[in-house]
Amino acid sequence: MNAPWKSGLPGNRDPFAAFICDDSALDVLRPVVIEMGWQPEKCNKGGLRNAIQSLSVSASPAILLVDLSESGDPLNDINALAEVCEPGTVVIAIGQVNDVRLYRDLLSSGIHDYLLKPLSAQQVHDSLNQALAVFTAPKAGDDGSVKRHISTAIVGTRGGVGASTLATSLAWLFSEDHHSPTALLDLDVHFGTGALALDLEPGRGLTDAIDNPSRIDGLFIERAMIRANDNLSILSAEAPISQPLMTDGSAFVQLEEEFRQAFEMTLIDMPRNMLINFPQLLADVNLVLLTCELTLASARDTIRILSWLKANAPHAHPMIVANKVQASVAEISKADFEASIERRIDFAIPYDIKAASNAAKLGQVFVDANRSSKTTAAIKQIAERILGASEEDLEEAMAGEEKKSLLGGFDLKGLLAKKDKEPAQAAE
């Protein structure tokens, strides 16, 4: 039987295999498998444990039917199965437990469908056809249209400038206020606060991706990312601080590729060291929000990072965001800061310690906990600018940045020298 859908299945592995505990279920399954054009010999006796043992030494099929009837801990065993399955395998589970919570938990873990015993031929046939639809459905971009996607990296010039707070707030606004499917990737693998700000457990998704980059695909993304709301998913970690980060960065690049297929917006909370160690992470980033504060150290590092971006990621448009702005107590003035970096600050976010404390106490992101705050209003303006960004806008903005700044009369060295003289003058 030469079914037209076969062209959609992966060509380098078997289309189907099953591991079933009892003969009665096998008797129902085999005729359906023959009707689908597959080999009945692929219907094996033995349940989930046999499947794990078999697939640990052989390639997994495109569609896998596995019996959970003899499993004492189905969710834990399914995770063990995921370790031996190749990326893209569609798994259908069958079992005897009629429990809505188990059904939902299995689907959340990445299982495609859960069938209840005793099986019927029609039930099995329908489920297998639905599994085939995963392979035959058109992929993003197959219709010739360009899928809208904006990737934004948020980089703090110094520790503590609020880059992570800005990242989580923007992700929340994109997902809640603008209803855009959004991914938040927190690349501070040991000390990230993205999940904490959203009052979530980070899970093992990011560390699993780093350890096994070849397993990253659409199904992995569904299993590994933690849902914050209907439109926002986060991937983060709290890796043990005794374990240094051992990666060439390929996992992060692959994650970004999958995000482009699955989401409209990607927010990357990117520590400075990750920016320097893995410059390839900016290959497809549209915008870099360089988050700074009005201090000499931040001005110096803003200059250095802007220069690095120009040399290593000229396609990524930088936006300067001054955070925690307190005009009366700023170390240096906004005008002097702009003069030293030879470009204007795009956005200034006022400092509001009470609002920040309120968000932490409530376990909510800043903009959700403080909707009427002036700080939230400024972050909303940034979100609007990012959402309104188009390729033409970015090219025009970048062309404008190449012109000599009108603020070029000041430099950082002069500013530092001026600052050094101030204590002596005060002493006089």
Element (H, E) at 135: helix 121-136
Q: Degrees (nearest 5) of the Cα angle 226, 272, 415?
A: 140
Domain 150-419 fold? Rossmann fold (3.40.50)
Q: Degrees (nearest 5) of the Cα angle 247, 252, 258?
A: 145
Q: What residues does 268 pair with on adjacent strands?
A: 153, 185
Q: How far is CA 101 from the centre of its chain?
A: 27
Tens digit of pLDDT at every position of the chain (428 positions): 233 223 345 545 688 899 999 999 999 999 999 888 888 999 999 888 889 888 888 888 889 999 988 888 888 888 888 888 877 788 999 988 887 777 777 877 778 888 988 999 989 988 888 887 776 554 444 444 445 789 999 999 998 899 999 999 999 999 999 899 999 999 999 998 888 888 888 888 898 888 888 888 888 888 888 988 989 999 988 888 888 888 888 899 989 988 988 899 999 999 998 988 999 999 889 899 999 999 999 999 999 999 999 999 888 889 999 999 987 888 899 999 999 999 899 999 999 889 888 888 888 889 888 888 899 999 999 998 888 754 444 445 445 444 333 333 344 545 555 555 554 444 43
d(CA 41, CA 157): 61
Please check whether the two domains, 14-136 and 150-419, share a CATH topology: yes
- According to the 3-state scheme, what is the secondary structure of 315-357? CCEEEEEEEEECHHHCCCCHHHHHHHHCCCCCEEEECCHHHHH
The answer to whether 57 and 76 have CB atoms below 8 angstroms apart is no
Domain boundaries defined on the chain: 14-136, 150-419
Q: Where are the alpha helices (DSSP H) in 225-373?
A: 250-262, 272-277, 296-312, 334-341, 353-362, 366-369
95: three-class secondary structure by DSSP: strand
Structure tokens at 358: 């309120």
CATH number of 14-136: 3.40.50.2300
Q: What residues does 269 pair with on adjacent strands?
A: 154, 186
Instruction: Examine residue 350 and say whether the peptide bond preceding it is cis (omega within 30 degrees of 0).
Output: no
d(CA 56, CA 269): 36
- Report pTM: 0.61
Phi and psi torsions of 324, nearest 5°:
55, 40
Q: Report the chain's C-alpha Rg in angstroms.
A: 26
